[in-house]
Amino acid sequence: MLPGAMSEAVAKKSPEQDGEGSSRRSSWGLLVTAGVGGTLVALYAVVTPFVTPALRKVCLPFVPATATQVQNVLKMLENRSGPLVDIGSGDGRIVIAAAKKGFKAVGYELNPWLVWYSRYRAWRDGVHQNTKFYISDLWKVSFSHYTNVVVFGVPQMMPQLEKKLEEELECNARIIACRFPFPCWIPDHTTGEGIDTVWAYDLKHYRRCETKNLEITPERES
Ligand SMILES: C[S@@+](CC[C@H](N)C(=O)[O-])C[C@H]1O[C@@H](n2cnc3c(N)ncnc32)[C@H](O)[C@@H]1O
Ligand SMILES: *[C@@H]1O[C@H](CO)[C@@H](O)[C@H](O)[C@H]1NC(C)=O
């Protein structure tokens, strides 16, 4: 995204240079190219540690939730109780906001820097008793003991995550997705608009929860 924005800015600049000599234009071009190249290398150096660990399966970069997104997630947690997990917890903002609402909240995050920073923030905000942050790969842990699951993922990972959660979670679980919805499940609640949209799915409609009931009914009748 950033490189795209940069080349756009460069493209906007070039028409202003049209009236000048071609040699001057080419050296200017060289300078811009070098500048953009240098910036990209620097950007790459800074961004790589945040992105490469996530390349194991799909690239899930650190994009923190907006204040509105956090508010929308909290709205979906009304009427809810039980432990909460944020999958890929970033700087811990969702975990901390949920802990402030009284949830026992846990974050799983691959980037150790973000985990340490989350722990510091939780301590600073006085909720470290109710929060836990683990340095873990989301594909290598089970979320089975959580009744509230929050995820701000990327579209490529949603089908696989949908399958994983459907297998692991209990029937009373609610899954809350930020910005990108799950492909197959039908949301029970939706709030917000555009990038701040948040979807809530109650798992009881899926994962053989309802088939189990159908199996029990004939037994009761006989
Ligand atoms: C889009 S950010 C969301 C951050 C946070 N949940 C929020 O809403 O502010 C996704 C986070 O997942 C982390 N992540 C990427 N791959 C992961 C993996 N395999 N296991 C655990 N966390 C991962 C990234 O480092 C990033 O911080
Ligand atoms: C919370 O409960 C009320 C009353 O049952 C219901 O109308 C509302 O939709 C619920 N909100 C969410 C986000 O589940």
What are the pLDDT digits (tens) for 82-115?
Answer: 999 999 999 999 999 999 999 999 999 999 999 9
Whether 6 shows a pLDDT value over 50: the answer reads no
Domain boundaries, the chain: 1-51, 67-210
Under the banding of pLDDT at 50, 70 and 90, the label for residue 138 is very high
Q: Among the bound ligands, name the one nearest to the CA of residue 178.
A: 1
Count CA atoms closer than 13 A to 146's CA, side-chain side. 23
Percentage of residues in the chain having pLDDT higher than 70: 75
The residue ranking higher by pLDDT, 1 or 115, is 115
Closest CA to 182 of 160, 215, 212: 160
| 59 alpha carbon – ligand 1 mean position (Å) | 10
Check if the beta carbon of residue 58 is closer than 8 Å to that of residue 84: no
* Ligand 1 environment, Cβ below 6 A: 54, 60, 62-65, 86, 88-90, 93-94, 108-111, 114, 137-139, 152, 178
The residue ranking higher by pLDDT, 172 or 213, is 172
Instruction: Write out the DSSP string of 125-174.
Output: TT-GGGEEEEE--GGGS--TT-SEEEE---GGGHHHHHHHHHHHS-TT-E
| 63 alpha carbon – ligand 1 mean position (Å) | 8
Where on the phi/psi map is residue 15: left (φ > 0), alpha (ψ -120 to 50), or beta?
Answer: alpha
Token pair belonging to 167: 């297998």
Q: Which of 59-63, 140-144, 193-197, 198-202 has the lowest mean pLDDT?
A: 59-63
Q: What is the mean pLDDT of residues 55-71?
A: 87
Summarize pLDDT for 152-199 with one digit per residue, the tens. Answer: 999 999 999 999 999 999 999 999 999 999 999 999 999 999 999 999
* Ligand 2 environment, Cβ below 6 A: 76, 78-79, 189
Q: How far apart are the first and last CA of the chain?
A: 63
At the second CATH level, the architecture of 67-210 is 3-Layer(aba) Sandwich (3.40)
Check if the beta carbon of residue 157 is closer than 8 Å to that of residue 177: no
pTM metric for this prediction: 0.75
Pairing of strands 131-135, 148-151: unpaired
Question: What is the DSSP code (8-state) at residue 110?
Answer: S
H or E stretch covering 4: helix 2-13
Under the banding of pLDDT at 50, 70 and 90, the label for residue 51 is low
Q: Among the bound ligands, name the one nearest to the CA of residue 196.
A: 1
